[in-house]
Amino acid sequence: MITLKDVVKKFGKTIAVDGVSFEVKDGENVVLLGTSGCGKTTTLRMINRLTELTSGVIEFDGKNIMTIPPEELRRNMGYVLQHHGLFPHYTIAENIAVVPRLLKWPDTNIKQRILELLEQVHLPETILALYPQQLSGGQQQRVGLARALAADPPVLLMDEPFGALDAITRNNIRKEFSGLEVLKNKTIVFVTHDVGEAFDLADRVLLMDQGKIVQQGKATELLFHPQTGFVSDFFSSQRMQLELHSVYLENILPFLQIAKEENNATVIDKKKSLWEAIELMQSDPTRKLKVIDTHSDEMKMVDYSSLFTGLEAFKTKSP
Amino acid sequence: MINIQGLFHFMQSQSGKIFDELLQHIGLTFISLLIAVIVGIPVGILITRKRKLAAPVLGFTGILQTIPSIALLGFMIPLFGIGAVPAIIALFLYALLPIVRNTFTGITQVDQSVVEAAKGMGMTRTQILNKVQLPLAMPVILAGIRTATVINVGVATLASYIGAGGLGEFIFGGISLNNTNMILAGAIPAALLALFFDFLLSRLQKINLRKVRAAVWLLPVSLVLLSSFYLLPDFYRSKMIAGFTPEFMGRIDGYPGLKKVYQLDIRNVIISDAVMYKAIYENKLDVIDGYSTDGRLKAYNLQSLTDDKHVFPPYYAAPVVREEVLKKYPQLQDILNLLAARINDSVMTDMNYKVDYLKQSPQKVAKDFLVEQGLYKNPLMPGEETITIGSKIFGEQYILIEMYKMLIRGNTNLKVVTKTGLGGTKICFDALRNNQIDFYPEYTGTGLLVILQQPDSVISELGGDKEKIYNYVKDEFDKKFHLKWLKPIGFNNTYSLMMRKEEAARLHIKTISDLKNYLRKK
C-alpha cells in the first residue's frame, strides 16, 4: 500500500530523515517509534506531503506520490493529530463532514455517514450541534478520528493521537481504539514515543533514531532480541513490565512443575500473559495458580518464583 | 462660554449644510475605508504567505501612519490637486496600517494545528484561507477595520482644508471666526459619528463565530452603501464652483454678507488659502475669495471683482500691542509707528508678489524696503529683555513682522522672537491676550467684525468709513482688552472675489452683481 525507498529529508543543513526505507502492507498497522526529534513525525508527514521529501521515492498504491496532486493524495489518507485540530468555528457535525463536503457528497449521504461514524467511535448523537471546545479531551480525539475516517480512506496516518491526553484517559482510549471495528481493515501508520502504545497497537514496530530506522519487527522481537545497544536501552526503563505483558503462560509451560492433585488453586487459561497471571495470583489466598498444558495434557502449577524462573528460562532458550 | 441655545439655533439654521457635510463626511470616510479594505486585506494575506515581505510592508504602512495628517494632505496636493481624490487617497493611506496589520496578525494567530489539520484533510490553499483562516481571523480583522474607521472619521475633518468638504468645514471655519457654535456644529456630529460607527463595529465584532459568514457579506455591502453618500449632495448643485477659506465662509463681511446683500448663491467648497490659487488657476475652481493686496492676484492672472454694493469693509493694517508692553518699553511705540502710512496698496501687493510668487524670503523683501526707505539700521547688541511678535499664517504678515523685527533690533537692545503662522485671527488674538505674544499686525475690519463681533446696527452706523472704523476699534480694544492700536501702516487689505481674467472677460463679469446675475440665469 505504502512504500518508502531511501527517503531523505533535510531542513537546511540538518538531516531530519536519513535514508529511510520500509513498506506498509494492506491492512497492516505500523508504528513509528522513537524519541522526540528522531524523524518519525517528519517521515509520517512526507507520506501525505505535508512535508516534501528531499530525495528518495514514496509510493502509494504503486504510484509515486509526487505524481498525485497533494490535495487528492490527502483525501485518501485520514490524518489524526496530537492536538485534534478540530475547527473551533464548526460544530461537531460540520467538523466530521469536512472531507465529504470537499468531495461534494450529497447532504443526505453526509448525514447518514456522520451517524454511522458516531456509533463506530462510541460518541452520543447529542454532541453533533456542540462546538469542539465544549467536549472533553477524549471526546475531541474521537471526533478527530471520526473526521479522519469520514470519507472512508484506505489509509490512516496518526501523529501521536493520544499525546495530549492525561495518562488515564490515554490508556482507556488506547484500549478502546485497538478494539474499534472500523480500524480493523485500515492500513495505519502510527507515530508515537510511548512504548506501551506501540506494543498494544502495532503489527510491526519501526524504531527510529537520528533519522534512521534502527530496528524493525514485531514488538516482542525488539524487546527480546535488540540488535543494538540503543534498542535495548530504549526499552530498559519499562523492560520488566513489557516482558510480563508480552510473554504468555504457554511460553513458559515447559519450565513449570506438574501440579499435585490435592492442590485447590485457581485454574488460569494458558493464553493469559504473565502480567495477568500475577494479578490473579495476588487475589488468590494460596498465591498459586494451575494451568493446563494441552500438549502433555498435564496440570502444571505456577507461583511467583516458578513464574520468574520460567521467564528467565524462556528468554535464554528462545532463538 | 458655550451657549446651548445659541448652538441649537445655529445648528438649526445650518441644518441643511450640516446634513450635506455629514453625508460627505460619511462618504469620504467609507470610500477610503472601502479601498483600504479591498487593498489591505489581500496585502495582509499576501504577507502571511511571503513572510519576508511582512516586515517591510508593515514598516512602510507604519511610517505612513506617523506622517501628520495635515502634512500628508499637503503632500497630496502637488500629486492629485485638491478635492475629493487627494483626500480619499490620504485617508486610504491612514486606514491601511490597522487593516493590513490586523489581517496579518489575525491569520498568523490562527492555531497552527487547525491549519495543519485542514491541510492534512486535503483542503486547497484557497479553501483553507476561506473556510478556516479568514473566519477564525475575522474578529481581529474587524477590530482593525474598526480602528481604521474611527481614525478616518477623525482625519476626514481635515479634508476640508483641501476642498473635499465634510464636517471639518464647520470646525475650521469656526476656529478662524472665533465662533464656538460653528466649531461645535462640526465637532459634535463628527464625534457622534465616530462613536456610532465604533459601536456598530463593536457589535459586529462580537457576533458569534457561527454567524461570521453573514457578517462577511454585510460589511462590504454597507461599505459601498455608505461610500455612495459622498455623491449625494452633488445631485442638487449648480454650475460654477467657488472655493472659500473657512474664515470667509463664516464672516459677516464674507460669504454671508454677499448672500445677504447681493443674494449671491454659489456652490462652494471650503479650501485652505494655501492651495486655492493653484486650484483656480487649474480650472478646478471658478471663484475664490482673496485679499486685494495679494501678490498671487498678479501671479495667477486673476481678476478682482468690484464690490459694487460695499459689503467688504475697509481693512487697514496696524500693529496691536499689549498695554503693559508699551508701558514697560515706551520707546516701542515710536519705533513701531515708523511704518505708519509708509506702505500703500500697490507697494504691498508688489511685496506680496515677491514673497508668494517669486519665492523671495520675507526677510529679504522686508530689508529691501526698509533700506530703500532709509529706515534700516544694523542690529544692536541684544540684551536680556525680549519682545515676541506674532503673525497669522500668510506672507503679508510675515513681511510686516520682519520689518518690525528689524526696526526693533536696529533701534533698541531688545531681543526679538517671532511666532509666525499662528493660524487665523482667533489664535493670534488669544495668544496676545494670554501674554504669549506682545503684538501682531491686525486689520481694522477684522477687529470690528471678528473680534468685537458688533451687531449690524453698529456696523451700518460706521458705514464703511475708514477713519470711523479705526477710531471705533481703537477705543473698544482699549476699553475691553487693554490692547493698543498703533497708527495704520497705510494699505487697505480688504476681501475681494476673484476669477480667472479670461473667464471673467468671456462671461462679461466685472462686479459681484454681474456674477450673481450670471448665476441666476442658469
DSSP string, B400-454: HHHHHHHHHHHHSS-EEEEE----SHHHHHHHHHTTS-SEEEEEHHHIIIIIS--
Give the tens place of pLDDT for each residue, A231-263. 888 888 888 888 888 888 888 888 888 877 666
pLDDT of residue B305: 87
- Which residue in this structure is represented by grid cell 447518514? A112
pLDDT of residue B46: 94
pLDDT of residue B273: 76
Q: From the candidates B109, B121, B133, B134, which should be mutated to test the interface with A, based on the most A CB atoms within 10 A?
A: B121
- Distance (Å, whole) CA B442 – CA B450: 11
C-alpha cell at B311: 459689503
- DSSP annotation of A295: T
Nearest-Cα residue of chain B relative to residue A83 = B113
Phi-psi category of residue B464: left, alpha or beta, with phi > 0 → left and psi -120 to 50 → alpha: left
Task: Place A194 in a pLDDT band, splitting at 50, 70 and 90.
Answer: confident
pLDDT of residue B213: 62
Say what the pTM is: 0.68
- Computed over every residue of chain A, the mean pLDDT equals 86
Cβ–Cβ below 8 Å for B117 and A81: yes
pLDDT of residue B494: 85
CB A259 within 8 A of CB A300: yes
Cβ–Cβ below 8 Å for A85 and B113: yes
What CA dihedral angle connects B1, B6, B11 and B13, to 10 degrees? -150
Mean pLDDT value of segment A69-79? 90
Q: 3-state SS of chain A: helix, strand, coil percent to 5?
A: 45, 25, 30
pLDDT of residue B236: 46
Mean pLDDT value of segment A1-17? 90
C-alpha cell at A215: 530496528
- Computed over every residue of chain B, the mean pLDDT equals 85
H-only helix segments in B109-211: 112-120, 125-127, 134-155, 168-177, 180-206
- The gap between the terminal CA atoms of chain B, to the nearest Å, is 44
Residues of chain B with pLDDT under 50: 1, 235-236
Q: How far is C-alpha B201 from the geometric centre of its chain's CA atoms? A: 29
Nearest-Cα residue of chain B relative to residue A144 = B117
- Residue A68 with chain B: CB contacts under 8 Å: none
C-alpha cell at B351: 511685496
pLDDT of residue B317: 92
Q: From the candidates B111, B112, B114, which should be mutated to test the interface with A, based on the most A CB atoms within 10 A?
A: B114
Cβ–Cβ below 8 Å for A89 and B212: yes
Give the tens place of pLDDT for each residue, A46-59. 999 999 999 999 99
Closest CA to B272 of B291, B289, B287: B289
